[in-house]
A and B are shown apart, each in its own frame.
Chain A
Amino acid sequence: MHSPTNTALPEPLLALDHIDTFYGAIQVHFDLSLEVGRGEIVCLLGGNASGKSTTMKIILGQVQPKGGTVTFAGEAITGLATPKIIRRGVGSVPEARRLFGAMTVRENLLMGAYLRSDRATVAEDLERTLDLFPRVKQRLDQRAGTLSGGEQQMVAMARALMGRPKLICMDEPTMGLSPLYVERVLELVRDINRAGTTIFMVEQNASLALQIAHRGYVLQTGRVVLTGSAQELLMDPGIRDAYLGGEQAA
């Protein structure tokens, strides 16, 4: 079992150093730095237009920063094409799930193992993953687009696991889900993490994310304004000003 740590491990699994990002003339990130240690759950909190989702795209190579470096497992991955980054052991649970709606659930899960060529172990992993998600197992041959939002979120998480990633990036995994599924998703994230996968999670709902995270960063208009352990952040009155919008949270 991991215990939440306040300090990142000596060599983090993922590190963003001094990232500056622009969309045209508009600057999205200002000298953004963050680290995710091996075995951690780290969440990135922030409101609308704080640059959260762009951070995710930077890690996955879908947006290129103008300055700064991204390091994964000790090697620079800045500027690499997305498939090459995925091949190094990064998995993704995209915002709004982004399943392949016209393909079956089984095909979606196997797409998660697209870069693996070991057919036998992929089949084993499929069985093992499905044990984690009994609801998904019942729907294997159904088109993914016909599933409910919560079920789709399960499939998206199972799909990411199928690639045997070292790190899974999740973009707002609880968005739009019923409270029941929100609880379920958070439990699963914790289970996946306990089984050895590092999690980097972008969330708007700070109190939910901090229930399971070890550490967190708070992003405001492209700058990290606060960082600390989950407990520290939950206690910090500043988090309200920085992120929850002051009086609203009170």
Chain B
Amino acid sequence: MSSWFDYTINGLVVGNIYALLAVGLALIFGVSHLINFAQGSVYSVGAYVGLVCITYLNTPLPLTIAIVLASCGLLGILIERIGLRPLQGRTRIAPLLATIGISLVLDQIVQLVFSAQPRALPSQVPDWRFVIGGGSIGALDLLIAAIGLASAAVLFAFLRFTKLGWAVRATAQDREAAQQMGVDVDRVDSAVFAIASALGGLSGLLVGMYYNNISPAMSFQATLKGIVAQVIGGVGNVPGAIFGSLFLGLTESYGIALFGTSYRNLFAFVILILVLISWPNGLFGGRRSLPPEPLTGTFIAPSRPVLLPFWLVVALVATGLLLPVVVTSPYVIQTLSNAWLYGMLALSLTLVAGTAGQISLGHAALLAIGGYASALLALDLGLSVLVAIPLAGLITGLIGTLLVYPAFGLRGHYVAIATLGIGEIVSLVILNWESLTRGPIGITGIPPLAIGKHDFYSAPAVYWLTFAVLVGLALLQRRLLRSPLGRTLRAIRDDDVAARTYGINPNRYKGLAFAFSGFVAGVSGAITAHLYSYINFETFTSQISVLALTMAILGGLGNVFGAIAAAIALVGLPEIFRVASDYRMLIYGLALLLLIRFRPQGLFGTV
């Protein structure tokens, strides 16, 4: 049994590591109003640069640290050049999406170079331990604490006493006025990304040494923890980020002591949602409401959507129906069935993110809810699959809406963060609610798709079923978009204050959008569950959420036909051409980056 002292030390050490991540995020948000989703990728790059230094170059610790700081600092400058600078003057969500694209690319490059396998990162600190009272403290603990304090002191001195530091603060407060004083704000952006990334890389190095274990998968969680810490302290608030990080580290550590390791992240995300909803300026900022930022949540580039003539729709549907007759390869047919399932997810997201303007980064959670609901209805209640699937869709619509409901008051970035957090919470609840979900083991033996006594084992049968459901849902959604309801949703998206003055209650309509969206995604998840016959809490990962968003943007946000075409392009084509999965994520990341930069209206135009 470890003592409370040990848990406190552990909490502070982890808090220090979070602080190095979160301070950078806060600086970047302060200056550019951007939540940098690539921060975790830089952190993992820092860990791997450290690995190369320590195991191949045998550098001493101070040199290792210097190399990590320098290389990650340069990487930060590069990220700013690619992800932020070309997007100036665009909606604020655009650079955020660009950093998601950059993080996919960086993570995949790390994985291609070093493989996905975890690696040991030997600590270069002697293994001394000092026994104090009932616990002990190690040399590495002290080093991490010292680096945390030193970084904070250097950062403080930089902001307070250097000219560039003054420029950073001035730019954060009023970008235009700073320019009018002669500040080159592009240089400020660059400097801030360099600092943030250097600290983030250092954080990765330290965490690798602390756990003696690094893997490319550490990136995403790091981004999330940095964001949570920052939200706790108040977005963009540098001292707040340090406070939030220590608070988060301690909460997690005590949480593990009380409930066990699998609850650790649940605490982080529950705190995130609570703080976002109740203290949107952070625990430091008082209870003021957020400044209104109409339009910042949407990523709707003005465009004229491509309208398909009726005969073409009929021709496409007919082609889709006849395809299994012509194409005999079961592999191609299976791949396309998979694309239809993703198409449903893209439909679902394009409604919420496009038509209703709420960028959701947690959409995979809806698949998970639908999949679990249908599997459990069929297994535990013995419902027939044909009944379980639509019922699971309804349940997903209901639960999804209820989960997001508290976040309806949020806008822009905050919607993205909240949905991300809610998505993580769903998967952690699935992991921990063993009596219902079978916990980490997952659900096995899910009955296959069947109508009456006819099982759908053949590839064409699955194909026709998924295609029929997709076409049905797409027609329904198209109908909905053309109804007054669709118009109202777009009105709320474009200006919810103006919509309110016409007596519209935005929350009610956002609720309807999420409910329909949840139904569609839930059906997709349910069919997937019966198709796979096995699912667990990791079947529907956050990577799928990002992929869904890429599809929705590729097709043109809000565009029903575009969503389906994008699903074929991003899921079907790489599979048919047998692109290795590592490269596939790379393609998704690049696609997202290029789209945001050069064709924000997507292939078929926003609606």
Contact = CB atoms under 8 A, between A and B. Distances in A.
Interface of A: 60, 62, 81-83, 86-87, 92, 94, 98-103, 107, 110-112, 114-115, 159, 163
A87 B169 CA distance: 20
Contacts of B304: none
Interface in B172-215: 173-174, 176-184
A111 B181 contact: yes
Given A86-B181, A111-B181, A163-B181, A62 B169 contact: no
Contacts of A92: 180
A111 B184 contact: no
B482 interface: no
Given A107-B166, A114-B163, A114-B167, A82 B173 contact: no
Contacts of A62: 176, 179-180
A103 B180 CA distance: 16
Given A83-B184, A86-B179, A111-B181, 11 more contacts: A86-B181, A87-B182, A94-B176, A98-B177, A99-B174, A100-B173, A103-B169, A111-B166, A114-B170, A114-B182, A163-B181
Contacts of B182: 82-83, 86-87, 114-115, 163
Contacts of B167: 114
Interface string B90-127: 00000000000000000000000000000000000000
A178 B344 CA distance: 61
Nearest to A85: B182
30 contacts: A60-B179, A62-B176, A62-B180, A82-B179, A83-B182, A94-B176, A94-B177, A94-B180, A98-B176, A98-B177, A99-B174, A100-B169, A100-B170, A100-B173, A100-B177, A100-B178, A101-B173, A102-B169, A102-B173, A103-B166, A103-B169, A103-B170, A103-B173, A110-B166, A114-B170, A114-B181, A114-B183, A115-B182, A159-B181, A163-B182
Output the residue of B166, B179, B180, B181 with the most chain A CB within 10 A.
B180
Contacts of A110: 166
A81 B174 CA distance: 17
Interface in B153-171: 163, 166-167, 169-170
A98 to B, nearest CB: 4
A107 B170 CA distance: 9
Contacts of A82: 179-180, 182
B285 to A, nearest CB: 13
Output the residue of A99, A100, A110 with the most chain B CB within 10 A.
A100
A63 B265 CA distance: 47
Contacts of A114: 163, 166-167, 170, 181-183
A60 B176 CA distance: 10
A119 to B, nearest CB: 10
A100 to B, nearest CB: 5
A92 B180 CA distance: 6
A110 B176 CA distance: 17
Interface in B230-244: none
Nearest first, the 8 A-B pairs at minimum CB distance are A86-B182, A98-B177, A115-B182, A92-B180, A82-B179, A100-B173, A83-B182, A114-B181
Contacts of B174: 98-100
Contacts of A107: 166
A83 B177 CA distance: 11
Contact of A83 (B169, B170, B173, B183): B183
Nearest to A144: B173
Contacts of A159: 181
A81 B181 contact: no
Contact of B179 (A83, A101, A102, A103): A83
Contacts of B184: 81, 83
Given A114-B183, A115-B182, A99 B177 contact: yes
A163 B170 CA distance: 16
Nearest to A101: B173
